[in-house]
Amino acid sequence: MIWFSCRQCGKAHVRPETAAGATIFCDCGTGIIVPWESTVAEAAEPAPILESPPALKLEPVTFDPAPATSGPPRASRRAHVRRRDPKFCFNHQDVPRRAPCADCGESFCGECLITFATAALCGPCKNFRVKNLQRTAPPSKLSLVSVLIVLLTTPVILSLLPGSRSGFPWWSLVAFLPQGLAGTLAILALREAEKDPQAPGRSLALSGLFGAGLTMILIIILTMYSPQLWT
């Protein structure tokens, strides 16, 4: 056994040799480290040794099984859905309707309707119209076809015309046909853009018209002077 005393109150303590190095607390609250050997004389009446509490035994938690119910299973209760009266507002079932929505046709009161472009609309239908107005319209199909014709036919025409070696190649005038078609479509697209200033495709139509005109000029130059250059 190891005997030692509290340095605060002087009370004698005793612990087994296996407790050497452990920390204990005196009754006065002072923490004491058990020495490796006795530091005081053995007392006539040994102090009681505090036994360590028993280790906790961890066991899985179990629950009592639920009592079995007899009879068929009970059907779940469904909320009672009241049929909507078309004479009342779609959002407020106790408020009489004022007018139907111009788009969806549902009945609404005055607080749920808004006048948009001279039409009485509900909130969702109004938002849908505003979203459609903010959406960017696609460019004119005429201007798109005009640019495609120029891009697809110009390289072929310019590569075939310089091969002519005999006189004035009247057959090369056929090369004007696709460019004339592209220019005509571009002019029609510009006329549509004049009617609706917000319609897109104006720059695309100008590109098609400029490309068709430039290709025609190159066709004339190659038709008039390429035979002299190659002979």
Confidence grade of residue 6 (pLDDT, cut at 50, 70, 90): confident
Alpha carbon distance 116, 134 (integer Å): 15
Which amino acid, 199? Answer: A
What is the model's pLDDT at position 167?
Answer: 44
What DSSP character marks residue 112? G
Could you tell me what percent of the chain has a pLDDT over 90? 0
SS3 7: coil
Mean pLDDT of the chain: 75
Q: What share of the chain is helix, strand, coil (3-state, %, to 5)?
A: 40, 10, 45
Average pLDDT over residues 154-169: 64
User: What pLDDT does residue 227 have?
Assistant: 52
86: DSSP letter? T
Q: In this predicted model, which residue has the larger pLDDT, 3 or 162?
A: 3
Give the per-residue pLDDT at 43: 65
Q: Determine which of 28-32, 135-139, 184-188 has the lowest per-residue pLDDT on average.
A: 135-139
Q: What is the pLDDT of residue 206?
A: 87
Query: Domain coordinates of the chain in residue numbers?
Result: 1-48, 99-134, 141-230
Pick the residue with more confidence: 96 or 70?
Answer: 96
Of all residues in the chain, the percent with pLDDT exceeding 70 is 73
pLDDT band at 169 (very low <50, low <70, confident <90, very high): low
Residue 111, pLDDT above cutoff 60: yes
Q: How confident is the model at residue 163 (pLDDT cuts 50, 70, 90)?
A: low
Rounded to two decimals, the pTM is 0.39
Instruction: State residue 54's pLDDT score.
Output: 64
In the predicted structure, residue 231 carries a pLDDT above the cut 50: no
What is the chain's length? 231
pLDDT score, position 66: 65
163 vs 173: which has the higher pLDDT: 173
Q: Give the DSSP per-residue string, 113-179.
A: -EEETTEEE-HHHHHHHHHHHHSPPPPPHHHHHHHHHHHHHHHHHHHHGGG--SS--GGGGGGHHHH
